[in-house]
């Protein structure tokens, strides 16, 4: 009997997991993988879009939203590293934030989780952190170190730059402050995960669970599939579970038949 592959998915802030890899995590789980999500920060520097309950903090709200999203996306285990959200600025970053944390320190923590969970594949971000936020860039740096050090199949979550510019409204347009240079060219993308009905609905429900951050307009059914129905990755090294479970096997070239 073949054991279930474990995929470690590393993200910066609660809601990133759903926006950039929600379809992929749900489809990996449906295909038999064990998905372990590692969330680096508490997201407490986010912009609050709904009232909090008495005694509730933005940190506690965002972590509760994250737990609900994990249930909807069939995540088997959630690990929160507990770094503070660095905020959307150029620094300096205060002690305790992910932006101030040494990459080697964070990488050791993530590597311990990967070894403990028996991960064979690691998902993180592209070198620009998709849109340049310091916490996202740190996630890329950490993920690259861990993938190389443990020889894991690595996948950098990214966006197709042209598709983002041409498509309907996406939360990344707000997050990137109107920048149009986020993501990578289509020629650099190794794997594209397309939505299927139940998975797209699960992603929409998981995004809705992040109500403190996600606006109602982001959940408009008319444009949701166009904005969030694809997820993109740049592969590092050998093919891992994202390929083997979710994409067709590469076509084999038939060998010529030699005559007598």
Domain boundaries, the chain: 6-246
Q: Reading across the β-sheet that carries 34-41, which strands appear in turn? A: 77-83, 34-41, 6-11, 119-125, 153-158, 230-236, 191-194
Q: What is the mean pLDDT of residues 195-207?
A: 94
Handedness of CA 159, 160, 165, 170 (dihedral sign): negative
pLDDT for res 1: 40
> pTM of this prediction?
0.93
- The overall average pLDDT reported for the chain is 92
pLDDT, tens digit (0-9, with 9 covering 90-100), for 177-191: 766 678 899 999 999
Q: What is the mean pLDDT of residues 196-203?
A: 92
pLDDT for res 62: 96
pLDDT band for 3, please (50, 70, 90 cuts). confident
Q: What is the mean pLDDT of residues 81-95?
A: 93
CATH architecture of 6-246: 3-Layer(aba) Sandwich (3.40)
pLDDT for res 196: 79
User: Shortest CA distance to 126 belongs to which of 25, 231, 204?
Assistant: 231
């Amino acid at each position: 009997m073949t054991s279930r592959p474990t995929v470690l998915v590393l993200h910066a802030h609660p809601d990133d997991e759903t926006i950039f890899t929600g379809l992929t995590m749900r489809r990996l789980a449906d295909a038999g993988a064990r998905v372990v999500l590692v969330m680096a920060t508490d997201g407490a520097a986010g912009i609050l879009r709904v009232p909090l309950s008495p005694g509730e903090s933005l940190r506690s709200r965002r972590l509760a939203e994250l737990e609900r999203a994990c249930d909807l996306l069939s995540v088997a285990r959630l690990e929160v590293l507990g770094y503070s959200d660095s905020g959307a600025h150029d620094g300096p970053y205060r002690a305790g934030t992910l932006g101030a944390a040494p990459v080697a320190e964070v990488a050791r923590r993530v590597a311990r989780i990967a070894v403990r969970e028996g991960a064979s594949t690691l998902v993180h971000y592209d070198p620009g952190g998709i849109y340049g936020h310091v916490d996202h860039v740190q996630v890329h740096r950490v993920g690259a170190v861990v993938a190389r050090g443990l020889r894991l199949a690595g996948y950098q979550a990214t966006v197709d730059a042209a598709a983002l510019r041409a498509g309907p409204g996406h939360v990344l347009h707000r997050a990137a402050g109107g920048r149009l240079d986020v993501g990578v060219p289509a020629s650099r993308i190794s794997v594209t995960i397309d939505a299927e009905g139940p998975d797209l609905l699960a992603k929409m429900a998981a995004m809705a669970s992040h109500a403190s951050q996600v606006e109602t307009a982001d959940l408009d059914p008319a444009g949701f599939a166009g904005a969030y129905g694809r997820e993109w990755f740049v592969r590092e090294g050998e093919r891992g579970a994202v390929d083997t479970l979710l994409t067709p096997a590469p076509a084999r070239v038939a060998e010529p038949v030699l005559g007598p």
